Structure formats: structure tokens, C-alpha cells
Amino acid sequence: MLHRKTLFRSFAIVVALALSQAACKPPENAVAHGHSHGHGGHSHGADAHAEDEDEHPAFPITVWTNGFEVFAEHEAIEAGKAVELVTHVTRLSDGQPKATGSIKFVITDASGASFEHVQSKPSQPGVYLPKINFAKAGEWQVALRIPKDGKSVEVSLGKVTVYPDHDAIHKVEVPEKLDGIAFLKEQQWNHPTLVRPVGRRDLRQSLSVPGEIHLAAERRGAITTPIAGRILAPIGGSRPRLGQQLSAGEIVGRIQPVFSEISSRLVEARAAVNRAAIELEDARKTFGRIESLAKVEAKSARDLQAAEKELRLAESAHVSAQSLERAYASANAGLLTGKEDAPMAVTLSAPIAGVVSELLPFATGEFVQEGTVIARTLDPREVQVHAFVPESQSVHLASVSGANVSRPGRADESLTVFNEQVGRIAVIATEVEPRSRSIAVHIDTPNPDNRYRIGQRLTVDLHLRELNDIIAVPDQAVIEEEGLTTVYVQVAGETFEKRIVRLGVRDGGWTQVVSGLEPGEMIVVDNAYAIRLAAVAGGDVPHGHHH
């Protein structure tokens, strides 16, 4: 009865196929691994078993542990006769062969007695061909010691069975051929194929939506002319430049009104003072009359309060009118005297601290009308991310607990804009935008080094919930093929299997696998496309495999 040993699903997986004994099978069922391993195998003379003329079956062993993949093959082992243990050593870090240096085989029998065999160098990069003589029949433990970073790491190859004689070997069940995609070690080394064990990790479920960088209104400033006149530079200074950092209240220019303009304004201001004085006098008289009537209860307390309010408003209006009249009088006096240091111009100042983002091309001395914006500033130290959530996904809005942003096509440069330490949700819109049918989520976030540009378009990943201890693989391990989501699993050193998987949450370069993989299985995480090509070619790929 055919059987194969179970593939142990862990990072230190040992694949030791068909090392047990059973009834002899016809040689046409033997594994055709395609290797040329040198010596032709057993010989029994002219009347020996006819199958000895065929290639002998190979017993494969595959181990991934301690930074190495070791793939070894050997024929059925007869006690007292040297057997060639074809050993391929690959670095898991980069998928490349161990090209130089010795390795040591440590062989231990059931009693604990052991001996060592040192293979001084590979016959070709990554391939060692030791010939080891097992003195007696039984189970032997084989371990490999490989130099690494000035130390020696041990890789256990598990147990091999040594048979007492040639007749016993002919009763051995040959390994059942593994179904899968053949991709030889030399091909893997020529097209570096990295494998990693499937593991578990914590992921966040996220909702990926488009977004833009905006600036809150209070972080925008406009330098506007309060009166008509000629633009002048500040006394002893110069007008601002595009990109210049300004402080709040910093003087950036002056507006010099023409004489007729300021004189006209002075006349209007004096008239306003007179009107305010008359209204104040009327308010005082009204308050006095109502106060007298309220004492004899001819007017209510509410009437008295209303009269007092009107009096206070009239007093305030009168004070304001007087202040404006003084300002125009001072400016008018300066225009009449023509003194450089006289208050003959109205100063222009930056309303907020910020960078000059727009500068209108008015020449010094050019006349501008009242209310003209001559420059705009912005303070980009904190920006607002506007994420646009489709109406169909609005059920998730109550679960948003964080957010990352990335530029389209640059998910590897993701930056956090909202979590417990960074940013905050300013507001979630209560209305659906009618054209895009989306709901805006506004996130206030710091903007160190001006990394975000106003108006920049982004992809926003809104964090919804945490998924703990789930099976996940690197994104690059997943391949879309003919509408199916697949990965490639290395089931043995030179055998791969295409596996259809069902995916779930994606987060930070990792993807949840809902079904199709088990923890510990070795998947191809780099250059899986080479395996796919080998599958399409039916294993018929270039580069021969000779040791």
C-alpha cells in the first residue's frame, strides 16, 4: 500500500518522503526527478533484476530552518556501501545557493553513536555531493552543520533507513511521485525565488477611499486694501515675496490715499461724528425720561432696560466715529505736510502667520481700489484631509478609529494622519454630496516639513477594526490568474503547487487569507511569476540539471 510521510507545517518542516518499508513496486512508478547524480546504482550481474538497468528511485528530503533550505536526495541505502547524498543548500534570505565553503554531516545511529563527514566544498554553487558509508542497518539520524556569520547552525534532515542487503532494498516501496510544478534548484537560483512560511499576525480592516488635502479657513489669510490709493513698501522695508514666511501682524506695505480721497473721507467721518453725537443726546434724553417714569411705575423694568441698551449702543457708536475721524484727520494732515514719517499712509499687515502663497502683480506706486486683495497667505502647519466615503459604505463611518494616507500608486509610503497620537476627526459630513454620492470625512492632522501639499490628491485608508492572530501573507505573494487569486506553495525542494486562495483584509503590505493556506506552509513571496511560467511550460524550462 502506497503512502508518503506527512508534510510538517512549521518553519522547521522536514519533508522525508517514503522512507518506510513496504512491498516492492515496478520501477516505472519510481520518481523521475531528472537529476544526473553520477553512479548508476546497484548491479547484480547478468541475471540480476532487470529493473537495475533503469534509474534508481530517489528519496527526497526538504528542510527549511535556521536561515537555510536544504534539499537532499539519495537512493535506497545499503549497509556498508557508500551512498551519494546529493545536497542542495540555499540561503532563505535571498534565495541564492551557498557557493563556497565546507559543510559537515553528523550521522547518529539508534544507540547514540555518531560519526562526521566533512564536505570541503560544493561541486558547483549550492550542490554538495558527499559519499557516506553507513556501517549497519537501521534508523540513522542525519544532521547538517553549516557555517553562518562566524558560527555554525544545525539543520536536522530527520531519519534515514539503512537496509541490511540488496534483497531488502528490492522490497522497499519507492516514493510516490509528488504532483506539482517541477522547478529545479538551478532554475530557482537563476531566478531567485524567495519562500517564507505562512504565519499569523494582527491586521486592521480598512476602507480605502479617495481624498484631498485642504486647509481650514482660519489658516488662510488675505492682505486687503482698506482704502483706495497707491501701493508703497513699508517704511525701511520691502514688499513681501512669494513663499516668504510672515508673522501675524507683520507690516508688509502701505496704501497712500490721494488727497481728494482722504479729504472726502475726513468730511464723511466728521459728519458721522455729528450724527452719532445727536443720536447719543437723543438716547440720553429718552433714557432719563423712561427712568423717571419707571420710578413711579409708569414704565416697566423691561422698558427701562431697553432704553439703557440704546444709550450704551449710541455711546459706542459715538466713540467709534470719533476714532475714525481722528485717523482720517491725522492722515489728511500728513498729506498736507508731505513729511515722510507722517501718518500719511495706511499700513498693510499680515492677518495670520503663514507663507505668502499668492502675490498679485501690482507695481509699487500703482493705484488700487478699496477692497483689493494684493496677497494671500496660508499656514500649512496643520492641514485637513478630506476623505470621500461612498454612500454605500456609510455604515462604516461610526467605526473609524484611525487613518493613513498614500499617494496613488505609492502605497509603500503610507503615512498616519489619525490615531491616538496623531490628528483628529474634525467632522463627518451629515449630507451626501449629490454628484459624487459620497460623504466627506474631515481629518485635521499636523503637517511637518510641509509633506502634504494643499490640493494634493491621496488615497485614504480609514481604519475600521482590528483582526487578531489571522493567517496573512505578503501582498507580493498573491497573483491574479484568469480571474482567480492564487499563491504558489513549495511542497518540496523542486516541487511547487498552485493554490487558489480566498482573501480578506489588506493592511500595510499584508493580506488576510481566509481559505486555501495553513500556517507553516512555505509560499513563494518573490518571483512567483517564474513558477507560473514553469507551470505553463509543463516543467519544460531551460537550464539542464547536472551535478
Mean pLDDT by 10 residues, the chain (547 residues): 32 33 32 41 37 62 95 94 96 94 96 95 96 95 94 95 92 83 92 93 90 93 90 89 93 79 76 92 92 89 89 90 81 56 72 93 90 94 95 91 82 81 92 94 92 92 90 93 92 94 88 94 93 76 44
Handedness of CA 32, 34, 35, 38 (dihedral sign): positive
DSSP for 52-100, written as a single string: GGSPPP-EEEEEEETTEEEEEEEPPEETTSEEE-EEEEEETTTS-B--S
Closest CA to 184 of 73, 20, 319: 73
Q: For 335, which DSSP code?
A: H
Pairing of strands 77-78, 151-163: parallel
3-state helix, strand, coil in the chain (%, to 5): 20, 40, 40
pTM of the entire predicted model: 0.58
Q: Record the cell numbers describing residue 365, joined without a space.
A: 506706486
Residue 55 pLDDT: 52
Under DSSP, the state recorded for 324 is H
Q: What is the pLDDT of residues 93-108, one digit of tens each?
A: 999 999 999 999 999 9
- Closest among 71, 32, 21, 72 to 54, alpha carbons compared: 32
Q: What is the pLDDT of residue 330?
A: 72
The pLDDT tens digits of the residues spanning 430-468 come to: 999 999 999 999 999 999 888 899 999 999 989 888 889
The whole-number pLDDT of residue 135 equals 93
